[in-house]
Amino acid sequence: MNKTIFEKIIDKEIPANIHYEDENIIAIDDINPVAPVHILIIPKKKISTLNEIEDIDINLVGKLFKIAKFLAKKFEIDKSGYRTIFNCNEDGGQTVFHIHLHLIGGKKLGWPPG
């Protein structure tokens, strides 16, 4: 199966601006930011969509939120506020089929999403 863009970033085949990395997770700037802070927190394990998450992945998915908290503080949006989003499949707006948590902040965000 062809690699997604995120697998290529994880494998260092294409560059990204990396804010956090450990053996299981990488966090990078979104190439097309929708706000002053727009970071993607990506598990290195290939999970295509939220629909494929299994019990064994629960700690990993939980850790994505811990990294979001860490980065929100680092980028000083923890007090002003931010949003974390997983998009799933076509109606959810998912374009890269390797799950990733969007961390978005640094401006007042609109709600509800369209």
Q: Does 93 bind ligand AMP (CB under 6 A)?
A: yes
Tokens of 29: 């700037």
Which residues are the active-site residues?
Answer: 100
Binding letters toward ligand AMP, positions 19-58, x by CB under 6 A: ---------x-xxx-------x------------------
Nearer to ligand AMP, 28 or 77 (CB): 28
Bond preceding residue 112 cis, omega within 30 of 0: yes
In the complex with ligand AMP, which residue's Cβ is closer, 79 or 103? 103
Task: Order the strands of the 18-21 sheet from edge to edge.
Answer: 18-21, 25-29, 37-43, 101-105, 82-85
Rg (CA), the chain: 14
Q: 2, 51, 95, 110: which one contacts ligand AMP (CB under 6 A)?
A: 95
